[in-house]
């Protein structure tokens, strides 16, 4: 089959068709997509058939539980997301030009940045441009970076993985380190060890621990903490990356957890948690901002990145 020329797409393809196809993929159902778009089901089906004619193959597989993309449909869907992201950015920039600073910033994040850096940056942004809408999505790096690559996110703020394997999977994504955070051990305000001036890790093994989940890069850092001291890891553990759950567990004044120091200081200053005096902890890592090098950021996104830099200075202090 001869390659489809870009001029053919330019003459035949319409953004409305792209919007319909992307909504079908998002909904996993032609019926649900039609309801979301306020169209009839036959109208949505007609659009899919038109697109399949343009691209020369089936885009969807229909099953008992809805529809899912073919290999060709996955390719078209990925590019459709990028096109719609650029359309959204254009709308944001035009609106910002006509009405002043506004728009939307879609941010992916992990525990490493959500408790301190992001709140500071959002407050700075809102003080300067209160009409900008910030939408946060919390997840793991294997979820957030692909979403960034297809335009579902504008940037990701998280701990930069030390192994570097993510770079081969997403070569167009770049990471800019904002500051280096330390690791610390925390417990409840009335924990039996909270009054000690200095502690050894071996003194903490008798207590319940909260450790990062095994699929997170932070778990490797936690395991190394015990290995370097010649100790076995605690046997009484909960594996969790949920900040709210972890804080609630430590209200028993027995459970111990690991946290980035910048986040732990927020809870310590509010008299919610106590940073336990344990020296020689590994560095938590660089907190960075991940962006797609192939996409020009909208005005609101560029402004938010400036706010991240200013907030990082306060976190590093």
CA within 13 Å, CB half, 149: 17
- pLDDT value at residue 188: 95
| Closest CA relative to residue 272, chosen from 300, 244, 308 | 244
Query: What is Dmax (Cα atoms) for the chain?
Result: 75
253 Rama sector, left if φ>0, alpha if ψ -120 to 50, beta otherwise = left
Catalogue all structural domains in the chain, each as residue range(s) with its CATH number. Answer: 6-79 (1.10.10.10), 102-179+286-316 (3.40.190.10), 180-284 (3.40.190.290)
| Closest CA relative to residue 21, chosen from 62, 73, 71 | 73
Helix, strand or coil, per DSSP, at residue 60: strand
Q: What is the pLDDT of residues 103-129, one digit of tens each?
A: 789 999 986 566 788 999 999 999 988
- Paired sense of beta strands 283-292 and 155-159, if any: antiparallel
As a whole number of angstroms, the distance between CA 129 and CA 132 comes to: 6
Tokens of 206: 């008798």
Q: How confident is the model at residue 296 (pLDDT cuts 50, 70, 90)?
A: confident
Q: pLDDT at residue 3 above 70?
A: no
What end-to-end distance do the CA atoms of the chain give, in Å?
61
Q: How confident is the model at residue 243 (pLDDT cuts 50, 70, 90)?
A: confident
DSSP 199: B
């Amino acid at each position: 089959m001869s390659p489809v020329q870009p001029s053919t797409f330019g003459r035949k393809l319409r953004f409305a068709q792209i919007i319909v196809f992307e909504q079908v993929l998002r909904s996993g159902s032609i019926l649900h997509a039609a309801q979301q778009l306020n169209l009839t089901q036959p109208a949505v089906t007609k659009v899919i058939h038109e697109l399949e004619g343009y691209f020369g193959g089936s885009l969807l597989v229909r099953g008992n539980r809805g529809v899912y993309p073919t290999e060709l449909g996955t390719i078209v869907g990925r590019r459709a997301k990028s096109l719609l992201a650029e359309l959204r950015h254009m709308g944001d920039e035009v609106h910002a030009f006509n009405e002043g600073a506004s728009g939307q910033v879609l941010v992916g994040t992990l525990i490493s940045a959500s408790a301190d850096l992001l709140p500071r940056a959002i407050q700075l942004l809102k003080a300067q441009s209160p009409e900008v809408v910030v939408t946060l999505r919390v997840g793991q790096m294997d979820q957030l970076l692909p979403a960034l690559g297809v335009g579902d996110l504008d940037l990701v703020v998280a701990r930069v993985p030390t192994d570097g394997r993510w770079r081969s999977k997403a070569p167009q994504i770049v990471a800019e380190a904002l500051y280096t955070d330390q690791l610390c051990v925390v417990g409840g305000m009335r924990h039996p060890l909270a009054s000690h001036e200095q502690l050894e890790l071996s003194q903490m093994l008798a207590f319940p621990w909260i450790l990062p989940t095994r699929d997170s890069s932070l778990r490797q850092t936690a395991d190394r903490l015990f290995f370097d001291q010649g100790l076995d890891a605690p046997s009484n553990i909960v594996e969790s990356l949920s900040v709210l759950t972890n804080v609630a567990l430590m209200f028993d004044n027995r459970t111990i957890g690991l946290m980035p120091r910048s986040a732990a200081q927020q809870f310590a200053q509010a008299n919610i948690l106590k940073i336990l005096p344990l020296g020689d902890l590994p560095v938590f890592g660089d907190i960075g901002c991940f962006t797609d090098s192939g996409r020009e950021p909208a005005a609101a996104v560029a402004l938010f990145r400036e706010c991240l830099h200013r907030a990082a200075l306060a976190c590093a202090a």
